[in-house]
Structure 1
Amino acid sequence: MAKLPRMPKSIPKRAPSKPPPFTPRPQPIAKPSQTAKSFRYRDLTPPDIPFSPTISEAEAKKRARVNKWGRGFPLIVMGLTAFGTGMYGVQLWMSLSSVDSISVPEDVSDRFDKEADGYDEKVNTAEWLLRLKSRRKALTALAHGHVLEVSVGTGRNIPYYPTKKCETVTLLDQSGPMLAVAKKKWKDMQQEYFHRVFFKQQSALDPITPPFGAQGGYDTVIQTMGLCSTPEPVKLLQNLETVTKEDGGQILLLEHGKSRYKWLNDLLDRTAPAHAREHGCWWNRDIGKIVEESGLEVVKIKRYNFGTTWWVELKPRKGARKRLAELKKAQEEVKCITQEQLSASPGSPVAQRPWWNIWR
């Protein structure tokens, strides 16, 4: 029988083989026609190192979309601004071309009745260009206590009311359709505060009765774009003074009127009749002169948009309500005396004696 070969007592160990030296892949040479976008990170990695991208493909697409919109956003804003400016310029040119001979009454407040439904859409573009939205928001933020807003219109200040700082809010306007839009807007935007709001349809030139708890006067009186539509702006401010609390009360106005520049004032004067006929607003009134003639104490005046937008903060004079009450009482006495004199004058029906008293 053949014998099997004997196993060796120990197997010699082989020396570990050394890895070949690392030789990086040669980088491609850019051709003149290639751009930086044609290179990939995978092509520049060594052959023995696996490629592992830091972001996923979906994330890369998302970032590409964000970068695309980021580059296009300024162009969109510039386009919208140019469109709005162009539309405003067209409207202004149409006003300029039709102001040859226009007869417009001083009281144009009745124009607002027919414009109530589409008023917000009509003025949105102009107010956006003039940044009046931010002005309205900043002005209304100063309201506190018992608040009165006159010439409220469709309630363009309603979204900005600090309701937590207001005890009551009275919204007043002469136009019934405008006030109806404002009432609906408040109910939609400030539903939880609706039970503490009062809506009054009357002229701001007539006596205003504060609600219960504010018999000393309103803490804050607000009017935005109202002096342009009233036939007696000075009387309106004096009437607001009589319903404002003397200690700590404030009257806040945001108005549009004359500019600082003569060329712009000439343009406003020329287009004012057509604008008043269409929109019920005399936009060329001198707000500074109206405030001065009213006699109210000026706290602050700021102007924007070439001086045509007026921010005015006023406070009532001491004893103004008492003086007005005395003046009204004196006027009533004079009226009574005048009526007595007329009734007693010769030839009047009351002064003639009856025929049976002819011997007296």
Structure 2
Amino acid sequence: MAKLPKPSKALSSKPTIPTRRALPLHKQTPRTQSHTEPSSRITNPTPQEAWKKVWSARPKLSDVQRLSDEELRSAQHQAKLRRWRQWPMFGVGLVAFGMGMYGVMLYASLTRDVDPKDLPQDLSDRFDKEAEGYDEKVDMSETLLFLTSKRKQLTKKAKGHVLEVAVGTGRNIPYYNTKQCATVTLLDSSGPMLAVAKRKWNDTHKEYFSRVFFKQQSAIEPIIPPYGAQDGYDTVIQTMGLCSTPEPVKLLQNIEASTKEDGQILLLEHGKSHYDWLNNMLDKSAPAHADEHGCWWNKDIGKIVEESGLEVVDIKRYNFGTTWWLELKPRKGIRQRLAETVVEVQPSTAHSDSPVTQKPWWSLWR
């Protein structure tokens, strides 16, 4: 039988402890990866995921039925119940506080006697005084009436050359999709209100500032579209504007005259309700409300639109019918008829070949 060769003397007979590098790969202890993992793997949960986690952790009836009396009285179980109850209670308290404040303001308006004869026809000075604190003043009421989401939906429809009438402090500005707007013209008769809107636009859409125009004028006066929109605006928006103008029908007709024939006119207004009892409250409190805020909130919006002659595409009403969502469009051929009217009313001393007598007011820059 062959003998096995003896091991070499150069090799030590004592067992050696291999270093970390000498260990086989499958036996090496993995290094801590918390500092080496890319930061992209650490993601914050979305609001939907966070809500699902809270919902899954709620105490369930089946769990309570399986718990003993001692477990039900345990501090851990009671703490779990308190955590689950605090959010609904907080929400109910917030809604109750908001409704209480709104009720107090409504009661103050109803109990305050103001003679409509003592009010001036032009109440624009109210907006000049309230410009800086206007947003804080109306935030609560608009939140309770769910108007913020409606402003967002309405403004997202704006496209092409856009005109917003009675822009105020620019409460719709954050919701503009500037990628689908060629130009945006923001118009208001109040200089202080327009200054707030200008700051808000600069903070929200600074990169689009070169294609926005701010005009301080009444919407009852002729509105000249910017260069490139000689045929009129593609979209006209107005939110809560008919209530503050003494001539709402004339305002709508003036808007129609500055809109393209295939353009859209989008309105979000407040006015009369479906119900007589609520209309009686609005009528009684309207003078006091107008004296304080410059807004007559009891106007019949449907009648105003009907008298204006604009074509109705869609009407929706919310909040007992006091909130009006209207999608309108200009009448066919209205711009041509207006142009002919302008020609007919020119003074007899004007020359027949004058370009002013042959073109409407919105075409003077051509």
TM-score by length of structure 1 reads 0.74
In the alignment, the residues of structure 2 paired with residue 70 and residue 334 of structure 1 have an alpha-carbon distance, to the nearest angstrom, of: 81
Q: What residue is the counterpart of 1:295 in the other structure? A: 309
1:221 to 193, 218, 236: 236
CA RMSD of aligned residues (A): 2.2
In the alignment, the residues of structure 1 paired with residue 104 and residue 327 of structure 2 have an alpha-carbon distance, to the nearest angstrom, of: 34
2:288 to 261, 267, 274: 274
Matched, 1:324 2:359: no
In the alignment, the residues of structure 2 paired with residue 37 and residue 251 of structure 1 have an alpha-carbon distance, to the nearest angstrom, of: 61
2:269–2:301 CA contact under 8 A, matched in 1: yes
The structure-2 alpha-carbon separation of the partners of 1:223 and 1:335, relative to structure 1 and needing over 3 Å to count, comes to farther
Matched, 1:259 2:273: yes
After alignment, is 323-332 or 205-214 more displaced?
Answer: 323-332
Report the alpha carbon displacement of residue 169 of structure 1 after superposing the two structures with TM. 0.5
Q: What residue is the counterpart of 1:96 in the other structure? A: 110
CA offset digits 1:61-104 (Å, max 9, x no partner): 9xx67x64442111111111111111111111111111254521
In the alignment, the residues of structure 1 paired with residue 151 and residue 201 of structure 2 have an alpha-carbon distance, to the nearest angstrom, of: 16
In the alignment, the residues of structure 1 paired with residue 310 and residue 84 of structure 2 have an alpha-carbon distance, to the nearest angstrom, of: 50
3-state SS of the aligned residue for 2:327? strand
The structure-2 alpha-carbon separation of the partners of 1:77 and 1:334, relative to structure 1 and needing over 3 Å to count, comes to farther
Matched, 1:75 2:89: yes
In the alignment, the residues of structure 1 paired with residue 261 and residue 227 of structure 2 have an alpha-carbon distance, to the nearest angstrom, of: 17
In the alignment, the residues of structure 2 paired with residue 73 and residue 259 of structure 1 have an alpha-carbon distance, to the nearest angstrom, of: 34
Report the alpha carbon displacement of residue 332 of structure 1 after superposing the two structures with TM. 3.1
Matched, 1:314 2:328: yes
2:159 to 136, 141, 144: 144
The structure with the larger Rg is 1
In the alignment, the residues of structure 2 paired with residue 299 and residue 161 of structure 1 have an alpha-carbon distance, to the nearest angstrom, of: 22
In the alignment, the residues of structure 2 paired with residue 107 and residue 323 of structure 1 have an alpha-carbon distance, to the nearest angstrom, of: 30
CA offset digits 1:291-334 (Å, max 9, x no partner): 00000000000000000000000000111112112223323337
Q: What residue is the counterpart of 2:71 in the other structure? A: 36
2:109–2:285 CA contact under 8 A, matched in 1: yes
In the alignment, the residues of structure 1 paired with residue 128 and residue 150 of structure 2 have an alpha-carbon distance, to the nearest angstrom, of: 26
2:114–2:288 CA contact under 8 A, matched in 1: no
In the alignment, the residues of structure 1 paired with residue 303 and residue 345 of structure 2 have an alpha-carbon distance, to the nearest angstrom, of: 27
CA offset digits 1:188-231 (Å, max 9, x no partner): 11111111111111110111111111111111000000000011
What is the letter of the counterpart of residue 97 of structure 1?
T
Q: What residue is the counterpart of 2:250 in the other structure? A: 235
The correspondence of residues 1-360 of structure 1 with structure 2, limited to 5 A, is: 34-37=69-72, 68-99=82-113, 101-102=115-116, 103-247=118-262, 249-333=263-347
What is the letter of the counterpart of residue 228 of structure 2?
G
3-state SS of the aligned residue for 1:245? strand
In the alignment, the residues of structure 2 paired with residue 163 and residue 214 of structure 1 have an alpha-carbon distance, to the nearest angstrom, of: 17
In the alignment, the residues of structure 2 paired with residue 100 and residue 188 of structure 1 have an alpha-carbon distance, to the nearest angstrom, of: 40
Percent of aligned positions that are identical = 69
Q: What residue is the counterpart of 2:3 in the other structure? A: none
The structure-2 alpha-carbon separation of the partners of 1:39 and 1:70, relative to structure 1 and needing over 3 Å to count, comes to closer
In the alignment, the residues of structure 1 paired with residue 224 and residue 115 of structure 2 have an alpha-carbon distance, to the nearest angstrom, of: 42
In the alignment, the residues of structure 2 paired with residue 315 and residue 289 of structure 1 have an alpha-carbon distance, to the nearest angstrom, of: 16
Report the alpha carbon displacement of residue 166 of structure 1 after superposing the two structures with TM. 0.7
Report the alpha carbon displacement of residue 335 of structure 1 after superposing the two structures with TM. 10
In the alignment, the residues of structure 1 paired with residue 182 and residue 74 of structure 2 have an alpha-carbon distance, to the nearest angstrom, of: 68
Report the alpha carbon displacement of residue 34 of structure 1 after superposing the two structures with TM. 5.0
What is the letter of the counterpart of residue 159 of structure 2?
H
After alignment, is 258-267 or 206-215 more displaced?
Answer: 206-215
Report the alpha carbon displacement of residue 39 of structure 1 after superposing the two structures with TM. 7.9
Q: What residue is the counterpart of 2:16 in the other structure? A: none
TM-score by length of structure 2 reads 0.73
Report the alpha carbon displacement of residue 181 of structure 1 after superposing the two structures with TM. 0.1
Q: Which runs of 4+ in 1 moved over 6 A?
A: none
In the alignment, the residues of structure 2 paired with residue 130 and residue 80 of structure 1 have an alpha-carbon distance, to the nearest angstrom, of: 14
In the alignment, the residues of structure 2 paired with residue 327 and residue 256 of structure 1 have an alpha-carbon distance, to the nearest angstrom, of: 33
Instruction: Please list every run of 5 or more consecutive structure 1 residues that lacks an aligned counterpart in the other structure.
Output: 1-32, 41-59, 337-360
2:244–2:296 CA contact under 8 A, matched in 1: yes
In the alignment, the residues of structure 1 paired with residue 124 and residue 349 of structure 2 have an alpha-carbon distance, to the nearest angstrom, of: 30
What is the letter of the counterpart of residue 220 of structure 2?
L
3-state SS of the aligned residue for 1:220? strand
Q: Give the length in aligned residue pairs.
A: 282
What is the letter of the counterpart of residue 308 of structure 1?
T
2:114–2:287 CA contact under 8 A, matched in 1: no
The structure-2 alpha-carbon separation of the partners of 1:38 and 1:296, relative to structure 1 and needing over 3 Å to count, comes to closer
What is the letter of the counterpart of residue 212 of structure 2?
V
The structure-2 alpha-carbon separation of the partners of 1:331 and 1:74, relative to structure 1 and needing over 3 Å to count, comes to same
